Amino acid sequence: MLLRELYVLRLYGDVPVLALTPLAGSHFVQRMLTVVTTLKSQRRNVLEFITQAVSAKRQGQPTPSLLPQVPAE
């Protein structure tokens, strides 16, 4: 499953429309795999997190954290 995700992310990471160089595309893929793996290990919704992060960045707001959400005591 991880290899399939890596292939799909690499395919989208190297899209010429985004004007990414192969090295920049590789860095993008590495970062996205880290985000996806971290969120899945925390049983958090990947699409929801990325949507919130992009929206926050566009609006000049703080982006959500990848750190585990621990309830206050």
Residue 57 belongs to a domain:
no
How many separate domains does the chain show? 1
| Res 48: pLDDT | 95
User: Does residue 63 sit within a domain?
Assistant: no
In-domain check, residue 66: no
* 59 within some domain: no
Q: Which 3-state string (H, E, C) describes the chain?
A: CHHHHHHHHHHHHCCHHHCCCHHHHHHHHHHHHHHHHHHHHCCCCHHHHHHHHHHHHHCCCCCCCCCCCCCCC
pLDDT in tens, the chain (73 residues): 444 444 444 555 554 444 445 665 677 888 888 899 999 999 999 999 999 999 999 999 999 999 887 777 7
The answer to whether residue 73 is domain-embedded is: no
**What pLDDT, on the 0 to 100 scale, is given for residue 19?**
41
Is 69 a domain residue?
Answer: no
Is residue 70, in this structure, part of any structural domain at all?
no
Q: What is the pLDDT of residue 22?
A: 62
Report yes or no on 60 lying in a domain. Answer: no
The structure's pTM equals: 0.62
Domain with 21 in it: 2-49
